[in-house]
Amino acid sequence: MTVLVILLFLLFLVIGIPISLVLGMITICYFFLMGNTTLLTSTPMRLFSGLENFGLLAIPLFMLAGELMNGGGITTRLVKFARVFVGHVRGGLAYVTVISNMFLASILGSANAQAAMMSKVMVPEMEKEGYTRDFGSALTLASSIVAPIIPPSMIFIIYGTLSGSSIGGLFMAGIIPGIIYGIGFIGLIAYMGYKHNFPKSDRATANEMVKSTVSVLPALLVPVVIIFGILSGAFTATESAAIACVIAFIVGAFLYRELDLKQLPQIFINTVISTATVTFLIAMANIFGWMIAFEQIPQLIANTMLSISDNPFVFLLLVNLLLLLLGMILDGIAALIILVPVLMPLVTAFQIDPIHFGVIICINLTIGLLTPPVGTGLFIVSSIAEVKFERLVKATMPFLIVAIIILFIITYWSDAVLLVPRMLGLTT
C-alpha cells in the first residue's frame, strides 16, 4: 500500500500537478484504497483545523505590508540608498543587489516575491552596465534567499506554529545568519569581480548621499518598529505585522505620496491571491501529515536515524542531506509542514535547541529555490528575466555552493544562531 502511494505521489509530480493538489489527492487516494470511510468523513475537519492558529494570521498581514511598501515607493528608495553608497566600487551594482535584498528581506519575508520583484528592477540595470544577463539573474535569485532568514519571515512563522517555538525568538535568531549570507555572497562577488573585471558606476556626491539617507529613513521604520516592538514586548510577532501595514500605508501615502488610493483594490487582490496559495498549501499538507502519522512513518524515520547514530552532529548531517534532496523536488513550505512533526521528536531526543533547528531547516529548504528540477525561484527568475532555465542553473551554481557551505557553518556553530535570542532571553 505504501509503495503504491509513493509511486502515485511521484507520478503526479512528474506530470506537473501542483504540489498542493498532489498532497490532497494522494491523501484521498490512500483513504479510498484503505476503504476507511471514517477517515474520509473527517478529512474536511482536518483541513480547517490545520489553519486554526493565531500565528498564521501574520502571513497575510506581512504580505499586505510588502505590497503596500512596493506601491508606496519604499522599495525603490532602499535600492537607491544602497547604490549611492557602494555603487562606485568595482562590481558595485552587484553589491547593491545583495545589500538591497538584505534591506528588502526585513520587509517582504518571502524569497519568491523578492526574486520576482528584484528581477524586474536589477537585472535590466545590471545588463545596461555591462554585466551578463545570466549573472545578474543568478545573483538576484541567490540574494533573495536571505528574505526568509532576516525577520520578519513567513517560513519562521509557519515553523514556529508547527513546533510551538517562539516566533519572536526565531525572528531574532535569523539576524546573524542573514548577515553571514550577505557577507558570503559579497565575498564571492569580490572574487568574481576581480577575475572578470566587473564594471563600476560613478561615485555619488556627498549631497546625494545625504539626500538618499534622509529619503530612506521613513522606509526603515517598518523593520525597526517590528524588531523593537517584539523585543520590548509591546506586541507579538503577529501584531507587529498589523503595525507594519499601518506604517507602510502612512509612509507610502503621506510621506512619499506615491501610494494612490486607487492602487489599494489591486494591492488587496494580490495579497488575497498570495495568502490563498499559501493557506491552501498548509491545509493540504496538514491532511497529508495526518496520513503519514496514521502510517506511523515518523516513528519509522526516527527509529532508522537513531539506529544509524546517537550523535546529534551526525543527526544534523543526515537531516541536512535529506532536506537538500527534498528541496530539489518539494516546495519549501510543503516540505516544512510535512517534516516538522516528523523531526521534532528527534530534535527533543537529541537535545537540540528547537530555535537553532528551526533556522537550519528553514534555510535548508529555502536553498531549494536554487536547485533544479523543481526550484520555484529558478522558474520565476527565468521567466521574468527572460533567461533560459539551463543557463540560469549553471550561473547559479557558485552561489549555491556558497549557500550550502554557510548552511553547514550555521548548523555546527550554534552560537551564530542563538547569540541574539539568548541575549534577549528568548531561548536558553
Is there a contact between 82 and 105 (Cβ–Cβ < 8 Å)? no
Sign of CA dihedral 317, 321, 327, 333: negative
Count the alpha carbons within 13 Å of 100 in the hemisphere toward its beta carbon: 30
**For residue 329, what pLDDT is reported?**
67
41: in domain: no
267: in domain: yes
Q: Cell 537531516 identifies what position?
A: 319
Count the alpha carbons within 13 Å of 191 in the hemisphere toward its beta carbon: 9
178: in domain: yes
CA angle at 377 for the pair 372 and 379, rounded to the nearest 5°: 70
**For residue 54, what pLDDT is reported?**
66
Q: What are phi and psi of 326, to 5 degrees?
A: -65, -35
Measured distance CA(345)–CA(5) in Å, rounded:
25
Range of the domain at 298: 52-423
Q: Cell 488575497 identifies what position?
A: 272
**For residue 325, what pLDDT is reported?**
81
**For residue 358, what pLDDT is reported?**
94
**For residue 1, what pLDDT is reported?**
63
**For residue 418, what pLDDT is reported?**
93
181: in domain: yes
Write b or e for each residue in 268-286: b if 16 or more Cβ atoms lie within 10 A of its Cβ, otherwise e.
eebbeebbeebbbbbbbbb
- Mind listing the pLDDT tens digit of every residue in the chain (428 residues)? 667 777 887 788 778 777 778 888 888 888 888 777 677 777 888 777 767 766 677 778 877 887 887 788 877 787 788 878 887 787 888 888 898 888 777 666 677 777 877 787 788 888 888 889 999 999 999 998 888 888 878 788 889 988 888 888 998 899 999 999 999 999 999 999 888 888 777 777 888 888 888 888 887 777 778 777 776 777 776 787 788 888 889 988 888 888 888 889 998 998 888 788 777 877 887 787 777 777 776 667 767 777 888 889 999 998 898 888 877 767 777 788 778 888 888 898 889 999 999 999 999 988 988 887 667 788 778 887 888 888 998 999 999 999 999 999 999 999 999 998 988 887 76
The contacts of residue 360 (CB under 8 Å, 6+ apart) are: 316, 319, 320, 407, 410, 411, 417
Number of compact structural domains in the chain: 1
19: in domain: no
Count the alpha carbons within 13 Å of 18 in the hemisphere toward its beta carbon: 8
What the block records as the C-alpha cell of 231 is 523585543
What the block records as the C-alpha cell of 385 is 528575466
**For residue 55, what pLDDT is reported?**
65
**For residue 135, what pLDDT is reported?**
92
Q: Cell 517598518 identifies what position?
A: 222
5: in domain: no
**Distance of alpha carbon 191 from the chain centroid:** 26
155: in domain: yes
Q: Cell 545588463 identifies what position?
A: 127
Measured distance CA(422)–CA(43) in Å, rounded:
41
- CA distances to 64, 307, 357, 358, 383 from 420, rounded to whole Å, are 28, 34, 15, 15, 38
